[in-house]
Amino acid sequence: KFVINTVCAGCLCILGILGNSLSCLVLRKDKDTPVASFLLQALALTDTFFLCTWLAHFSLDDLFNYLHVSREFRYHWWLVRLFTYPLLFIGQTATIWMTVLIAVSRFIAVCKPYKAVQYCTLISIRKAVICVITASLVYNLPRFFENKLVTDTKNGTVKGPYTRTEFADTRAYNTVYFDIMYYIFIFVMPLMLLATLNMKLTIAYRSIQQRRNSMRGIGRREFMDNNITLVMIIVVLVFMLCNAPARLVQIIWNYRRHRCLSANFFLQEISIVLEVFNSSANFIIYCAFRKQFRLILQSSFC
């Protein structure tokens, strides 16, 4: 856990936070595709929030375990983890549905251009982003009541790490909230939407590229639209490749627990690190596939 979560994933988190911060600074100056740039900025912010909470909840915790910090310090740290736990799920949910929003908006802009004037304006997209963040917060409110610190019943002092509350241990809560709602809204529905939309976007992008190759030239505006479409297709594809294994392993792990050093343990740890990689990789995607991004980055810092 120390090697995987603290050393590897911790460094990845720090690099991802720096990359997302740079992405926000550069995307703010990209005036060619304002709606797409705003959406990518929102995704960078939700990714950064997820990485910060993941760094605190996993990387620092495994570091403290490895260093065998004092028990008094552990008491305070357990209290911090009570709050980073629900915040981690809020960031995860916001990142997932922000990616879905990016795919939907680009699908409308490319495949349904006659509806783009109504649904893909900057005002409409800002409202949609606010709705995604609000829904992520509301959906994960029960997470704040899932755990509690183990305390001494005589004097009320903290006795050990946190444990599940009676509310979280009820069969109705686990069945409705986790077994049904979590799998539908965090796993099945977003991945199905992303797979369908990304496939249609890829077909439309290839059609546009074929039409472009048959013509002598292409306008700058159309080139920018095509380029941002390619970037968004790759962002969604990387998201699917990183998150699908994590969700599948999470389902298997929830119903069949194994001790440390088992194959499932390492499979779970590595699949979770893939989520961290997804939230850290977008800066590399922008640099590799978006020429305008590279030019703004170079003019800003070189």
Read off the pLDDT of residues 138-190 as tens digits, 9 standing for 90 and up: 999 999 998 887 766 555 555 557 778 888 888 888 888 887 898 889 888 99
pLDDT recorded at residue 162: 73
Read off the pLDDT of residues 186-202 as tens digits, 9 standing for 90 and up: 888 999 999 999 999 99
Q: Cα separation of 44 and 41, whole Å?
A: 5
pLDDT recorded at residue 153: 54
Judged against a pLDDT cut of 60, whether residue 217 lies above it is answered with no
Average pLDDT over residues 118-137: 94
Does this model's pTM top 0.95?
no
pLDDT recorded at residue 291: 87
Domains of the chain plus CATH, in order, are 2-144+170-297 (1.20.1070.10)
Mean pLDDT value across the chain: 86
pLDDT recorded at residue 209: 77
